[in-house]
C-alpha cells in the first residue's frame, strides 16, 4: 500500500500516534484518577494494569487485525475477515452506534475542560477560595446554556479536524498534539513532585490496600482498562483500516498500551501529590476532583507566586483539552467514516451530520447535571447512563464478541497472516495472544459479568 494514499496514515509513527491519541484522553487524566481515588488507589491500579495486559491489549490487537484486514472499510471488515459469513455482518455497525454514544457524553466533560482552560487563560481562578471553586463548578455544570456551549465548541473543533481527512486532519493533529501533551505532562509532574507531602500522594498511588478489592472494584478496573485503551467499540478497527500493510500490529499495540498506562500513572503523579499537599483534602472527591479540588490546590500551593499558579493551571487544562481532542477525533471518525463511505456523503458533510447528533445527545447529558437531574432511566441520569452503557456494557461485551469472532470464527491462517504480515514478521508472542483471545479473555470477561449479575453468589 502506498504511503501517499491520503485515506491511509502516511507513516508508521503517524499510525501509532493516532492510535495513542485515541487511547490517551480524559480516561487517563480525569477518569483514571477519579476511579483510582474512589477505589483506594494502588490495589485498583494493580488490577487495572493486569486487565490492561491480559484483556484490553489483546482485544486492541484483535481490533487492529480486523480493521486492517477490512482495508479502508470498517463496516464490512467483520464480514470480510470471516470469509463471507453474513451472520457477523452486523458487528460492522458497532463502531457507528458506539461512536455516537461515547462522543455524546465525553464531549460534555471535554467542554468543561475547554471552559476551565478559558478561565485559566483569563486568570479567572486567582483569589478564589475552596468554597468558591466548589460553588462555581456546581453552578457552571448545572447551567442549561454555558456547558452546552462549550460542549458544542469541542464537537465543532473535532468536526473540523475529522473533515480535513485521515492524513491532513487526524494524523497531523496527533503528530502535533501528542508530543506537546507529553511535554506538558513532564513539566507538571516535575512541579507536582516538589510539593509538600508529595510522598503521601505517591503512597496512595503505589502502596496497595487489598482489603479494598471487591467485585465492584474488579468491574471498574476492567471497565477503566477497556475505556482507557479505547477498545471494545470498534474505534481501533476504524483506525486500523488506515494502517499500511507493513505496520507490526502486535508491536504497535504494545507501544500504545505502554504509552497509555504511562500517561495514566503520570497523571496520577500530577494529581495525587497535589491533592495531598493541602491537609484535609481527600483523593476520592469523585468526578469534580480535577475541576474543584485541583484548581483550588494550584491557587493555594502557588499562592505566593501568582505567575506559577497561572502557568500550572493553564498547562494542566490545556493538557486535558488536547488529550480530549485526540480521543474525540477518533470517536467522531468511527461514525463519520460510515456515513462517508457507505452512504457516500462527502467527508465534511458526514462529520457535520454526526456532530449535530452528538451535540443533541450531549445537551441531554449536560442537562442531567442541572435541569434534568431528576430525569432518570434505570435509576441513572443521562450522563451516568451513557457512561455505564459504554464503559461497563458495550466495551466488555464488544471486546468479548471480538475475541470470540477472531478466536473461534475466523480461519486461523487468516489471523496469523494478518498478525505476522503474511509471515514476514516473527511475532513470538502470537501463540500467547491467540490463547488469550480464545480462552482467557472471553472466560474472564464472562465471569466478571456473571459475578456482577449475582450468578456466582453460590460460591460465596
Ligand atoms: N480512550 C479514551 C480515553 O482514555 C476514550 C475513548 C473511548 C476513545 C472509546 C475512543 C473510544 O479518554
pLDDT digits (tens, 9 = 90+) for 101-156: 999 999 999 999 999 999 999 988 888 888 888 899 999 999 999 999 999 999 99
Mean pLDDT across 335-341: 93
The pLDDT assigned to 456 comes to: 66
The pLDDT assigned to 445 comes to: 82
Within its chain, how far is the Cα of 70 from the centroid? Answer: 23
The pLDDT assigned to 127 comes to: 84
Q: Is 227 in the pocket of ligand 1 (CB under 6 A)?
A: yes
Q: Which residues contact 226 (CB under 8 A, 6 or more apart)?
A: 51, 55, 56, 59, 232, 391, 395, 396, 399
Index of the ligand 1 atom closest to the CA of residue 99: 11
Nearest to 312 by CA among 193, 195, 187: 187
Per-residue pLDDT at 245 exceeds 50: yes
Measured CA to CA, the distance from residue 300 to residue 126 in angstroms comes to 10
Residues forming beta bridges with residue 377, ordered by sequence position:
380
Mean pLDDT across 223-247: 92
Residue 6 CA, ligand 1 centroid: distance in Å: 24
- Determine what percent of the chain is predicted with pLDDT higher than 70: 97
The pLDDT assigned to 393 comes to: 83
Nearest to 286 by CA among 34, 31, 112: 34
Q: Is 28 in the pocket of ligand 1 (CB under 6 A)?
A: yes
The pLDDT assigned to 1 comes to: 40
The pLDDT assigned to 131 comes to: 84
pTM of the entire predicted model: 0.92
The pLDDT assigned to 454 comes to: 66
Q: Is 158 in the pocket of ligand 1 (CB under 6 A)?
A: no
Measured CA to CA, the distance from residue 138 to residue 367 in angstroms comes to 12
Q: Is 26 in the pocket of ligand 1 (CB under 6 A)?
A: yes
pLDDT one-digit tens code per residue, 249-302: 999 999 999 999 999 999 999 988 888 888 777 777 767 788 988 888 888 887
Q: Is 257 in the pocket of ligand 1 (CB under 6 A)?
A: no
Whether 102 and 354 have beta carbons less than 8 Å apart is answered as no
pLDDT one-digit tens code per residue, 404-436: 999 999 999 999 999 999 999 988 999 999 999
Q: Is 366 in the pocket of ligand 1 (CB under 6 A)?
A: no
The pLDDT assigned to 3 comes to: 43
Per-residue pLDDT at 243 exceeds 50: yes
Per-residue pLDDT at 246 exceeds 60: yes
The pLDDT assigned to 2 comes to: 41
Q: Is 230 in the pocket of ligand 1 (CB under 6 A)?
A: yes
- State the Cα angle at 341 between 335 and 347, rounded to 5°: 75
Q: Rounded to 5 degrees, what are φ and ψ at 380?
A: -125, 145
- The residue behind cell 456532530 is 355
Measured CA to CA, the distance from residue 397 to residue 395 in angstroms comes to 6
Q: Is 228 in the pocket of ligand 1 (CB under 6 A)?
A: yes
The pLDDT assigned to 155 comes to: 98
The pLDDT assigned to 459 comes to: 61
Residue 410 CA, ligand 1 centroid: distance in Å: 27
Residue 23 CA, ligand 1 centroid: distance in Å: 5
Per-residue pLDDT at 95 exceeds 70: yes
Residue 150 CA, ligand 1 centroid: distance in Å: 19
Q: Is 296 in the pocket of ligand 1 (CB under 6 A)?
A: no
Q: Is 264 in the pocket of ligand 1 (CB under 6 A)?
A: no
The pLDDT assigned to 431 comes to: 95
Mapping DSSP to helix (H, G, I), strand (E, B) and coil, where does residue 303 land? coil
As a whole number, the mean pLDDT across the chain is: 90
Helix axes 293-301, 249-276, angle to 10 degrees: 60
The grid coordinates listed for 261 are 498506562
Whether 327 and 230 have beta carbons less than 8 Å apart is answered as yes
Whether 327 and 31 have beta carbons less than 8 Å apart is answered as no
Q: Please tell me what DSSP assigns to residue 52.
A: I
Residue 258: count of CB within 10 angstroms of its CB: 13
- The residue behind cell 467514516 is 337
Residue 230 CA, ligand 1 centroid: distance in Å: 4
Measured CA to CA, the distance from residue 17 to residue 339 in angstroms comes to 25
Residue 2 CA, ligand 1 centroid: distance in Å: 29
Mutate to test the pocket of ligand 1, among 227, 261, 358 (most ligand atoms within 8 A of CB): 227
Residue 22 CA, ligand 1 centroid: distance in Å: 6
Measured CA to CA, the distance from residue 322 to residue 157 in angstroms comes to 11
Mapping DSSP to helix (H, G, I), strand (E, B) and coil, where does residue 289 land? helix
Q: Please tell me what DSSP assigns to residue 86.
A: G
Maximum CA pair distance of the chain?
Answer: 67
Within its chain, how far is the Cα of 434 from the centroid? Answer: 25
Q: Is 58 in the pocket of ligand 1 (CB under 6 A)?
A: no
Index of the ligand 1 atom closest to the CA of residue 260: 4
The grid coordinates listed for 222 are 476492567
The pLDDT assigned to 359 comes to: 98
Measured CA to CA, the distance from residue 101 to residue 350 in angstroms comes to 16
pLDDT one-digit tens code per residue, 11-57: 889 999 999 999 999 999 888 988 888 888 899 999 999 999 998 99
Question: Which long-range contacts does 276-282 make (Cβ < 8 Å, 24+ apart)?
Answer: 276/197, 276/198, 276/200, 276/201, 276/204, 277/195, 277/196, 277/197, 277/198, 277/201, 277/301, 279/197, 282/37
The pLDDT assigned to 210 comes to: 84
Q: Is 331 in the pocket of ligand 1 (CB under 6 A)?
A: yes
Amino acid at each position: 500500500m502506498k504511503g501517499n494514499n491520503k485515506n491511509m496514515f502516511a507513516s508508521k509513527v503517524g499510525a501509532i500516534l493516532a492510535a495513542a491519541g485515541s487511547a490517551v484522553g480524559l480516561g487517563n487524566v480525569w477518569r483514571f484518577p477519579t476511579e483510582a481515588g474512589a477505589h483506594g488507589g494502588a490495589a485498583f491500579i494493580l488490577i487495572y494494569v493486569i486487565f490492561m495486559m491480559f484483556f484490553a491489549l489483546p482485544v486492541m490487537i484483535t481490533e487492529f487485525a480486523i480493521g486492517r484486514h477490512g482495508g479502508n472499510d470498517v463496516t464490512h471488515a467483520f464480514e470480510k475477515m470471516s470469509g463471507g459469513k453474513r451472520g457477523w455482518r452486523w458487528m460492522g455497525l458497532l463502531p457507528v452506534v458506539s461512536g455516537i454514544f461515547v462522543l455524546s457524553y465525553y464531549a460534555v466533560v471535554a467542554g468543561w475542560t475547554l471552559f476551565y482552560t478559558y478561565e485559566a487563560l483569563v486568570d479567572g481562578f486567582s483569589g478564589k477560595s475552596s468554597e468558591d471553586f466548589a460553588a462555581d463548578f456546581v453552578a457552571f455544570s448545572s447551567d442549561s446554556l454555558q456547558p452546552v456551549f462549550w460542549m458544542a465548541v469541542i464537537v465543532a473543533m473535532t468536526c473540523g479536524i475529522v473533515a480535513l481527512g485521515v492524513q491532513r486532519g487526524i494524523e497531523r493533529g496527533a503528530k502535533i498534539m501528542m508530543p506537546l501533551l507529553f511535554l506538558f505532562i513532564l513539566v507538571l509532574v516535575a512541579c507536582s513532585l516538589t510539593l509538600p507531602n508529595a510522598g503521601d500522594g505517591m503512597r496512595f498511588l503505589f502502596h496497595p490496600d487489598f482489603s479494598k478489592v471487591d467485585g465492584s472494584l474488579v468491574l471498574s478496573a476492567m471497565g477503566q482498562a477497556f475505556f482507557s485503551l479505547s477498545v471494545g467499540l470498534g474505534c481501533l478497527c476504524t483506525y486500523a483500516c488506515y494502517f499500511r500493510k507493513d505496520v507490526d500490529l502486535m508491536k504497535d499495540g504494545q507501544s500504545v498500551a505502554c504509552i497509555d498506562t504511562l500517561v495514566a500513572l503520570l497523571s496520577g503523579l500530577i494529581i495525587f501529590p497535589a491533592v495531598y499537599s493541602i491537609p484535609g483534602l481527600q483523593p476520592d472527591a469523585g468526578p469534580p476532583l480535577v475541576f474543584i479540588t485541583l484548581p483550588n490546590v494550584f491557587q493555594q500551593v502557588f499562592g505566593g507566586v501568582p505567575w506559577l499558579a497561572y502557568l500550572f493551571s493553564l498547562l494542566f487544562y490545556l493538557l486535558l483539552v488536547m488529550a480530549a481532542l485526540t480521543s474525540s477525533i477518533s470517536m467522531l471518525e468511527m461514525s463519520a467514516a460510515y456515513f462517508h463511505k457507505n452512504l457516500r456523503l462527502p467527508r465534511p458533510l458526514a462529520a457535520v451530520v454526526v456532530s449535530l447528533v452528538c451535540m443533541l445527545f450531549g445537551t441531554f447529558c449536560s442537562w442531567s447535571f442541572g435541569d434534568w437531574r431528576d430525569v432518570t432511566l434505570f435509576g441513572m441520569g443521562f450522563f451516568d447512563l451513557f457512561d455505564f452503557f459504554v464503559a461497563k456494557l458495550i466495551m466488555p461485551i464488544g471486546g468479548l464478541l471480538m475475541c470470540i469472532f477472531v478466536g473461534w470464527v475466523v480461519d486461523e491462517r487468516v489471523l496469523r497472516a494478518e498478525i505476522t504480515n503474511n509471515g514476514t514478521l516473527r511475532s513470538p508472542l502470537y501463540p500467547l495472544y491467540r490463547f488469550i483471545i480464545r480462552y482467557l479473555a472471553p472466560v474472564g470477561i464472562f465471569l466478571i459479568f456473571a459475578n456482577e449479575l449475582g450468578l456466582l453468589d453460590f460460591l460465596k
